[in-house]
Structure 1
Amino acid sequence: MSRRPKPNLSPSVSPEPSPTMITTCANKFVDQSDFEFHVCDAIQRASNPQVLVFTNVSRSWGEQIVESINQTRDGYSTRKNYNSWTKVLRITIMPTVLHDCVQTWWRVTEIALRDTGDLTGYEQTQIETLFRSGPSRCSRKEPDFFIRTNNDLLPSLAMESGWSESWNHLMDDMNLLLVGGDGAINAVVILKWQLNRPATLVSGFVELYVRDRRGMPVCRQREDVFPIPPQTQTPQRLELTRREVFGPHLLPDPTRNGPPNAMVYLEINQLRLVATRALQRMNLRPA
């Protein structure tokens, strides 16, 4: 009797394709019901990561479609962004592991803060990462990662990771969060990844945005992730105040001996490590 060949369980050598971006004007749909059917059908049919961009979407349509998707099981495999200022609805279907590496980056940072005593278990219980409501009236925004404390509706810190998204889209997201958040959102971290030639090499950088004294967004810091820049004596990290990260409502641990460090550092080397692991799962490599 011939033996059945063993299945090949090793990962494919082909790199995971970058998400396909499809742009459609909402004017082509006869009514809201027709629009919702098209969007939900596209999500259900998708077998690979995609980014659906819909332009000229009215506020009522934008709000309703986000709520409709959230009420279905398909809502958990998507990230929805509706900007009522630009009237653009963007839906990321099946976010890649590279999108989600920002969550691991914070987890590593949180462990380091716990080890140094700058974040205690009492304080950790006040922090949550569930975000469904939008930061601006009639808008809906689901960041790739955020931090909010206690009963705050909006996060104090948000992170956006761009893969196939254009730089303009990422800037729209940043402005919606910092300006549309009515001052509740203190800082936004933008990560931008780019697939280069040969088509397995990925470059990337990270930028930190805050508001200036006039309330306008400004880039306070930029750090290259890939390729790795020449080594210097200055640590490569994003520097944020404790208030920028956790907001004004984090209750300090009364049992702590001495005040915590006033700064929170997001180490780029740690981001580089988790991003490299994410790229390996996508059969890609750092540039």
Structure 2
Amino acid sequence: MDQIEKIRTSSATDSASSDSEILPREPVFSLSGYTNLSEALKFIASEATPEYALFVDIPLKWGQRILERLEKDDGKIFGRKYRYTWNSHERTLRLSMPSPIHEAVTSWYFQMTLTWVSNGIITLEEAKEATPSTNTPFTMPASPYQQSTKIPDVAVTPDDGQSLPSFVIEVGWTEPMTALQADMELLLCGSEGQIQMGLVVKWYLQRRTGTVRGTACLWALDAYGRLTKQQEEVYHLPTTSKWASGAQPHSRPVVAGVFGRDA
């Protein structure tokens, strides 16, 4: 994955070098000193912030067991309902609390679907044959991400018996862009081709003006299984960007990928 490492390094450098953006610091906690799962769970619960946290050095055998506790938690340990990403390859767990920014992307997706139908890019029947979800965990089947599990902000799954979505959306505010890019690598490369595309929208607060700007990246796998992306700068909700007014994500080949169909 040299290509992704280069993208991560470039993105991190570009973000760090800009003095016009307020970038949140990523809280990182190691579980390397823990040998007892119960104590590790208490540590995770005590350090998990209301917004976002990353835990590293997690024993591989604990991964799915931690997720089970997150799903079944009755409030005695965690007290909050987190969205999570368990990366079995890197042995990391990311926890985040959905915010209004994360929830807004759901309504944006429905607006875009109506636009695609109105413009004749897809039919109403095609739109009905895909189900969006916001709190569904998906487990990856392919190495090196086998048994990795993630809850995307939005997942669109074709109603054809496919176990994984064809299209996912991730939105970042406190999450760094490198983490969002790693999520795309996990989802697209770990899904055996079932997840065809992913959209990442990363929002930043402008230090000088106090306004919000963002970067939108549309990720896909090329014919050789390599990650590719289209990128655009946005300055408010993406419904008014060029992607929402007639550019590439409104072409039949791209929209077809959202619904898991051939162009």
Shift of residue 20 of structure 1? Answer: 6.8
Match for 1:112 among 111, 115, 127?
115
Matched, 1:144 2:153: yes
Distance (Å, rounded) in 2 between the aligned partners of 1:134 and 1:204: 29
For the pair shown, the structure with the greater C-alpha radius of gyration is 1
Q: Describe the SS at the equivalent of 1:159.
A: strand
> 1:61-210 to 2 correspondence within 5 Å?
61-72=62-73, 77-92=81-96, 94-116=97-119, 118-120=122-124, 123-124=127-128, 126-129=130-133, 131-135=136-140, 136-150=145-159, 151-198=161-208, 200-210=210-220
Kindly provide the CA deviation profile for residues 57-96 of structure 1, in whole angstroms up to 9, marking residues without a partner as x.
122222211121112356873110011111111000x322
Shift of residue 34 of structure 1? Answer: 0.9
| 1:224 aligned partner | 233
> 1:41-52 to 2 correspondence within 5 Å?
41-42=46-47, 49-52=50-53
Moved over 6 A (4+): 17-20
Distance 1:203 1:126, change over 3 A: closer
Q: Please say if residues 40 and 69 of structure 1, whose CA atoms lie closer than 8 Å, have aligned partners that are also in contact.
A: no
Kindly provide the CA deviation profile for residues 187-241 of structure 1, in whole angstroms up to 9, marking residues without a partner as x.
011111112214732210101111112101111x21211179xx99x84553453
| 2:61 aligned partner | 60
Distance (Å, rounded) in 2 between the aligned partners of 1:158 and 1:84: 20
Q: Describe the SS at the equivalent of 2:139.
A: coil
Q: Describe the SS at the equivalent of 2:28.
A: strand
Q: Describe the SS at the equivalent of 1:95.
A: coil
Distance (Å, rounded) in 2 between the aligned partners of 1:238 and 1:142: 23
| 2:254 aligned partner | 241
One-letter code aligned to 1:161: V
Kindly provide the CA deviation profile for residues 132-151 of structure 1, in whole angstroms up to 9, marking residues without a partner as x.
23224221111111100122
Q: Describe the SS at the equivalent of 1:203.
A: strand
Q: Given the two structures, how large is their TM-score scaled by the length of structure 2?
A: 0.74
Match for 2:27 among 22, 27, 51?
22
Q: Given the two structures, how large is their TM-score scaled by the length of structure 1?
A: 0.68
> Unaligned regions of 5+ residues in structure 2, if any?
1-21
Kindly provide the CA deviation profile for residues 99-130 of structure 1, in whole angstroms up to 9, marking residues without a partner as x.
22221110101222344563325751552426
Percentage of pairs with the same residue:
24
One-letter code aligned to 1:108: Q
Distance 1:166 1:115, change over 3 A: same
Distance (Å, rounded) in 1 between the aligned partners of 2:24 and 2:177: 15
Q: Describe the SS at the equivalent of 2:234.
A: strand
Distance (Å, rounded) in 2 between the aligned partners of 1:138 and 1:123: 30
Distance (Å, rounded) in 1 between the aligned partners of 2:187 and 2:179: 12
Q: Please say if residues 31 and 58 of structure 2, whose CA atoms lie closer than 8 Å, have aligned partners that are also in contact.
A: yes
Q: Please say if residues 70 and 81 of structure 2, whose CA atoms lie closer than 8 Å, have aligned partners that are also in contact.
A: no
Distance (Å, rounded) in 2 between the aligned partners of 1:67 and 1:119: 39
Distance 1:97 1:211, change over 3 A: same
- The RMSD of aligned alpha carbons is 3.0
Of the structure 1 ranges 191-200 and 204-213, higher mean CA displacement relative to structure 2 is found in 191-200
